[in-house]
Amino acid sequence: MHFDLAYVMSLVNSVLTADTAAQAGTAAQEGAAATGNVGTGLLVLGACVGAGLACLGAGFGIGRIGSASVESIARQPEASGDIRGAMVLTAAFIEGVCLFTVTIALLGVLIR
């Protein structure tokens, strides 16, 4: 995977200045001085980073649960039903927490 720092920085810059450009246009129409509001861009950026980290953590957690359960089933094949049930239940709880975090981040962006 190629990591292009210039692209990421331009994306962050566009997120931070998107609201500022719209305000500058309305302020120029009113004849007032254009002062940028970076708070909205930072709110969106923070929500995106938070939701991404939550999903990343959930993915790693579910991967570790799957790995541990496969190892346990390989060691004790007779307990595979119980291990599989516990794995699915725990993965569902982790996925629920991830969806809750993404929902809160989305609400934080939409409701200002």
> pLDDT for 53-106, tens place per residue?
999 999 999 999 999 999 999 999 999 999 999 999 999 999 999 999 989 888
Confidence of residue 38 (pLDDT cuts 50, 70, 90): low
**What residue numbers bound the domain in which 69 lies?**
38-112
Residues 30 and 84 in one domain: no
pLDDT tens figures, 6-32: 565 565 556 556 555 455 455 445 544
Show Cβ contacts of residue 72 under 8 Å, excluding neighbours closer than 6 positions.
Answer: 79, 83
DSSP state at residue 43: H
**Per-residue confidence (pLDDT) for residue 1, from 0 to 100:** 47
Residues 77 and 101 in one domain: yes
**Torsion-angle region of residue 3: left (phi > 0), alpha (psi -120 to 50) or beta?**
beta
- Residue 89's nearest CA partner among 69, 111, 112 is 69
**Per-residue confidence (pLDDT) for residue 34, from 0 to 100:** 44
**Per-residue confidence (pLDDT) for residue 7, from 0 to 100:** 60
**Per-residue confidence (pLDDT) for residue 35, from 0 to 100:** 46
Do 36 and 23 touch, CB atoms closer than 8 A? yes
Q: Which residue has the higher pLDDT, 39 or 32?
A: 39
Residues 13 and 51 in one domain: no
Residue 32 sits at φ, ψ, to 5 deg, of -90, 165
Residues 105 and 51 in one domain: yes
**Per-residue confidence (pLDDT) for residue 95, from 0 to 100:** 93
Residues 72 and 108 in one domain: yes
* Overall domain count for the chain: 2
Q: How far apart are CA 76 and CA 83, in angstroms?
A: 9
The yes-or-no verdict on residue 4 having pLDDT over 70 is no
Q: How far apart are CA 99 and CA 91, in angstroms?
A: 12
